[in-house]
Amino acid sequence: MAHLLEIKDLVTTFRSDGKEFNAIEGVNLHIDRGEIVGIVGESGSGKSVTMLSSLQLIASPGRVAGGEVYLEGVDKNLLSFDSDSEEMRQIRGGRISMIFQEPMTSLNPVLTVGYQIQENILLHKNVTPEEARRLTIEAMKTVNIPDAETRYDYYPQQFSGGMRQRIMIAMAMAPGPDILIADEATTALDVTTQAQLLEMIRDIAKKTNTAVIMVTHNLGLVARYAERIYVMYGGHIMETSNCVEIFHNTKHPYTRALLRAIPRLDDPKDRVLIPIDGLPPVPSQRPDYCPFYARCEYRCDACLSNHDYSLHEVGEGHYSSCILTDEELDRKAEELLHKDYGASPERHPLNRECLRVTNVRKYFPVYKGMLRKKVGEVKAIEDIAFTLQQGETLGVVGESGCGKTTLARCIMRMYEPDEGEILFGGRDIAHLKDKDLKSVRPKISMIFQDPFSSLDPRQNAGSIVGESLLIHKLTKTREEYENRVDELFRKVGMDPAMKDRVAHEFSGGQRQRIGIARALSSNPDLIICDEPISALDVSIQAQIINLLENIQAELGISYIFIAHDLAVVKHISDRILVMYLGRVMEIADCDTLYENPLHPYTQALLSAIPVADPVVEASREAVPIQGEVPSILKRPSGCPFHNRCPRATERCSQEVPQLHAVDGTHEVACHLY
């Protein structure tokens, strides 16, 4: 039986420095009606290029150099049509739709969302404008946009990030495509919004018999939603099979390495993450033998002499490009079981308080009109209270807009709190003047989310790392300065010989190491890690997490670790603080919070995080969460979560619950307890 979409021997080339090289080479994949297929792999593995090539959306200097793409009902190879032909325009959007990662760059800010969805319907369906408007409103209702008739005339900037992505899904689904490609479509969204959207895509796909291709680096998402998986690396498909086989009977060393590198929600706390050494090959320098060879722990001499690493069957419906037999793989896996990857470092928080935050509040005024009249306040954080011991890691989690970064900036004293105390080393720094903060500044450092934008592109790495040494006069001579910079480079696992390079000459993981070295340079007692790994690949994440743990074990530094990935937070934290709309919902030690979450919001957050194991996922109980985070300008009365909470009572809408201890150090702000 013919597949709905079949890609055969696809080759896409790009040109650089006058030479052509293959970005993807000999890719074969297919999808059937109503099926959900995942394509996973690190950045640069060729996932997005494969999908864009099949739709002839590769821009110059790239081109599709070979292969065939067949779509059910179209007699010809799609690649035989001109990219701007009427046939391809009808297929793109009409029969194959694509949702991109960042909805704001995909939506036109000067056109209403209704117009943009309706335009797509008129392009691909033979209907009147009135009928197209009706179908547009239906599509908006299908993706759960409230008050769709009114919001038809809204502009993209009047919607939240999650709602904008719903608009993109409505636009993609409105013409009734056969295939929906979701290219990292939920990566930039909160975990609860991500779960809602993916559940919605799955429901729509099954109702309409639409095939879905999920392009993602998140193995948890494919474990929860995909039926079959393609694992890509270096422009090639390394392994493919059904979801359970990929996770429980993994054949390719690359897939095994990916699974070992990711933290899981159900992991024991002391599990060591094993990163994949090295970096993916640059396409222009890819070898003619297995592209994973240089990073593979299973490699042997035969891998170098074998230039045919196309897929071959290793089980029913299971294909791998590795030349090793099952016996050879098992023998090598047995050897690796006894390999010393190092234990998770022992960290011993001291019984000495590093930080105490008491009832901290920060409001921002809202002005309107020509005379800039104050019309209200944004209550960013309210009544925040917690303690942090020396050498301890406190994880801070919550959806976007909950106040995590505002809290971090108050502790850094980038903002002055309106009320409350911030005791750092026993001294209240909440309301100190700038001149009095000079002695405090070097003792609190920050690691930022985006390692590229947080590094000055004009400075070399050495001067970035050593800048605070000069500002705070921490070295006396030039020789002492150079030695300290070299020491910091070595501490974060980098060669000091690289200190003369500028930011764009480093990989993402190396740039984040430079950011960590910069944070360490002033000998801080506290480092605030603000989403430090969310912009990095899975394998690089493991390296950075291990590095942070080793530094803490060696130097006894305290961390406040802000993240939206609760699996990572669980792995690295001693205690976790859960925030929602500027308030603390729950605080508990790591294991207690995951084993016995009390607040309905914490339960929903944990339920929304997928586990990278389809068998575990099938047995988990879903805790639904409705709606989106309200605007902080229109915070609900009473408990901020009551309008989304399945267990809310009348008291919840009237009275703000106070944070109180339920069992030892387990605190919760909920009227249920």
DSSP 599-615: SHHHHHHHHHSPPS-HH
> What are the backbone angles phi and psi of residue 614, rounded to the nearest 5°?
-65, -30
Name the DSSP letter for residue 502.
B
Cis ω before 657 (30° cut-off from 0)? no
pLDDT of 100 > 90? The answer is no
**Phi/psi at 195 (nearest 5 deg)?**
-65, -45
Alpha-carbon distances, residue 248 vs 251, 271, 287, 612 (angstroms): 9, 19, 30, 11
Whether residue 1 is predicted with pLDDT greater than 70 in this model: the reply is no
Contact criterion met (CB below 8 Å) for 375 and 555: no
Least confident of 23-37, 334-348, 579-593, 655-669: 334-348
User: What is the mean predicted confidence (pLDDT) over 16-37?
Assistant: 91
* CA dist., res. 381 & res. 605, Å (int): 20
In contact, 609 and 623? CB cutoff 8 Å: no
Q: How far apart are CA 376 and CA 540, in angstroms?
A: 43
pLDDT above 80: residue 2: yes
User: Is residue 386 predicted with pLDDT exceeding 70?
Assistant: yes
Tens digit of each residue's pLDDT (9 = 90 or more) over 562-573:
987 788 899 899
The Cα 307–Cα 309 span in angstroms is 6
Average pLDDT over residues 594-621: 91
Query: Could you count the other beta carbons within 10 Å of the beta carbon of residue 547?
Result: 18
Q: What is the mean pLDDT of residues 190-202?
A: 85
Task: Give the rounded percent of residues in the chain with a pLDDT score beyond 70.
Answer: 99
- 630 has a pLDDT exceeding 90: no
Q: What is the mean pLDDT of the chain?
A: 90
Q: Is the pLDDT of residue 398 over 80?
A: yes
Residue 342 confidence (pLDDT) = 67
Distance CA 160, CA 156 (A): 8
What per-residue confidence (pLDDT) applies to 451?
A: 78
Q: How far apart are CA 657 and CA 590, in angstroms?
A: 23
Confidence category of residue 525, pLDDT binned at 50, 70, 90? very high
CA proximity to 47, closest of 35, 29, 70, 71: 29
pLDDT score of 625: 78
Q: What pLDDT digit, counting tens, does each position of 442-482 carry?
A: 999 999 877 778 889 899 999 999 999 999 999 999 999 99
Mean pLDDT of 23-51: 93
- Run of H or E including 183: strand 179-183
Question: Residue 415: CB partners within 8 Å, gap ≥ 6?
Answer: 362, 406, 409
Mean pLDDT of 185-209: 84
Mean pLDDT is highest, among 35-44, 194-203, 451-460, for 35-44
Compute the average pLDDT of residues 6-23.
90
| Angle formed by the axes of helices 191-208 and 600-608, nearest 10° | 60
pLDDT of 235 reads: 92
The CA-based diameter of the chain, rounded to the nearest angstrom, is 78
Four-CA torsion 540, 545, 550, 553, nearest 10 degrees: 170
User: Residue 383: what pLDDT?
Assistant: 93
What pLDDT is recorded for position 664? Answer: 81
Sign of CA dihedral 200, 206, 208, 212: positive
Instruction: Report which residue type is found at 498.
Output: M
Residue range 220-231: average pLDDT?
A: 94
CB environment 555-578: b (16+ within 10 A), e (fewer): ebbbbbbbbbbbbbbbbbbbbbbb
| Model pLDDT for residues 64-91, shown as the tens digit of each residue | 999 999 999 888 999 999 989 999 999 9
Give the relative orientation of helices 508-520 and 538-555 as an angle to the nearest 10 degrees.
20
Amino acid (1-letter code) at residue 347:
R
- List the domains of the chain with CATH numbers: 31-55+82-247 (3.40.50.300), 252-337 (no CATH)
Confirm if 124 and 175 have CB atoms less than 8 A apart.
yes
- Please state whether beta strands 393-397 and 575-580 pair in parallel, antiparallel, or not at all (unpaired): parallel
Q: Please give the single-letter amino acid code of residue 504.
A: H
Cβ-proximal residues to 42 (8 Å cutoff; 6+ apart), any chain: 217, 233, 258, 280, 537, 538, 539
pLDDT of the residue at 171: 92
Contact 604, 592 (CB under 8 A): no
Both tokens of 607, joined, read 């339920």
The residues pairing with 373 across neighbouring beta strands, listed in sequence order, are 368
Residue 63 banded pLDDT, cuts 50, 70, 90: very high
CA distance 673 to 151: 39
- pLDDT at position 317 is 93
**Who wins on pLDDT, 408 or 372?**
408
Average pLDDT over residues 374-383: 87
At residue 505, the pLDDT reads 87
What is the model's pLDDT at position 379?
Answer: 87
Does the pLDDT value for residue 343 go beyond 70? no
Residue of 348 and 596 predicted with greater confidence = 596
